[in-house]
Chain A
Amino acid sequence: MYDATLAETVYFRGHDDDVIEGYCARPLDGASRGGVVVIHHLPGYDRETKEFVRRFAVMGFNAVCPNLYTRLAPGASPDDAAALARAQGGVADEQVVGDVAGAMRWLAALSNSNGKVVTIGHCSGGRHSFLASTHLDLAAAIVCYGGLIVGETPPQLPSMVPLVDRSPLVRCPILGLFGNDDQFPTPAQVDELEKTLQSNGKDVEFHRYDGAGHAFFGPDRPAYRVEAALDGWSRIQAFLDRHLAG
């Protein structure tokens, strides 16, 4: 079995036709396959997020993560860029959608693309993955403990408006993975999101994990919960196999 993958920094056009940076990983065997846009969390375009990108390539998909802070802090370390982004109130939703759309076009242009793309994000990236599902023609979207889909805009980060009212606009199936000990979002907020999506006739698959809180997928953090993370990865693999087939 030929199992080579390529991981590298690439550049493509995002929101407003700006050239932005992205990190991609993809199998090199030439078989037709779908793509995954990985949307990084508020702490930035960091090593952990790039590890997720490479994992998706090993799982059999083309993957790319757009650097949402390209314009703000080109060439800066991820934590410095994230500190600046936070100080400036975050990144506008419209810009995120444009950058994700650019990443989708980049994936679709790959010679082995089957044209299907799923988004995934953790934390604020989970919110952005949900946001993308209301604007873009995705095969599906994955939300890992996305905060502020339900809730109130924090006064210090005006870019983080709640999105649950946009549930009627969701265009694709949604996989949601949440920890029951999380406060951002709380279990009650997860329930509200699930019910709202279901009442709007959306295709929803939510999983909740006892003993897990926020960031349970992060292996380098005290929040890591191995059982939740392993089950979550198996749910992600099955979901991607189903929605990116063909």
Chain B
Amino acid sequence: MCTYVTETLPVTGSAKGPDGWIRVTDATVYFDHPAHALAEHTLNIDVRRPEAGPAARVAVELTADSARELAHAILRILDDPSVVSLG
């Protein structure tokens, strides 16, 4: 459906889904119609472990405004001087 605007990238870390924690290796970021959120379009993120099958993912669908706020919050944290020195 139908912006098709998608980026995929490797990631390192873990995510927790209904079956517990999985070590994730890949992420897909796209802006398109959500499966569940009540908005016409959302910023969607799948963090995945493809080698464990299609269900090994944690998905979020956020409105554009809340996704931007989340992205800014992530960058503020990562750019905080006390964090940069740990990176």
Contact = CB atoms under 8 A, between A and B. Distances in A.
Interface of A: 41-43, 46, 72-73, 76-77, 79-84, 86-87, 122-124, 145, 147-148, 154, 156-157, 160, 183-184, 213-215, 221-223
A42 B34 CA distance: 11
Contacts of A80: 54-55, 57
A124 B32 CA distance: 12
Given A156-B7, A214-B33, A86 B38 contact: no
Nearest to A125: B1
Contacts of A82: 35
B1 A123 contact: yes
A160 to B, nearest CB: 6
Nearest to B36: A79
A79 B61 CA distance: 12
Given A79-B35, A79-B59, A84 B2 contact: no
A84 B4 contact: no
Interface of B: 1-8, 26, 28, 30, 32-33, 35, 38-40, 46, 48, 50, 53-55, 57, 59
Contacts of A87: 8, 26, 28, 46, 48, 50
A183 B40 CA distance: 12
A88 to B, nearest CB: 9
Nearest to B33: A215
A49 to B, nearest CB: 11
Nearest to A147: B2
Given A72-B54, A148-B2, 6 more contacts: A83-B28, A83-B54, A87-B8, A87-B46, A215-B33, A215-B40
Contacts of A81: 54
A157 B39 contact: no
Contacts of B35: 43, 46, 79, 82
22 contacts: A41-B1, A42-B4, A43-B33, A43-B35, A73-B54, A77-B55, A79-B35, A80-B54, A80-B55, A80-B57, A81-B54, A82-B35, A84-B48, A87-B26, A123-B33, A156-B4, A156-B8, A160-B4, A184-B4, A214-B1, A221-B33, A222-B39
Contacts of B50: 84, 87
Contacts of B32: 42
B14 to A, nearest CB: 18
A104 B1 CA distance: 24
B44 to A, nearest CB: 9
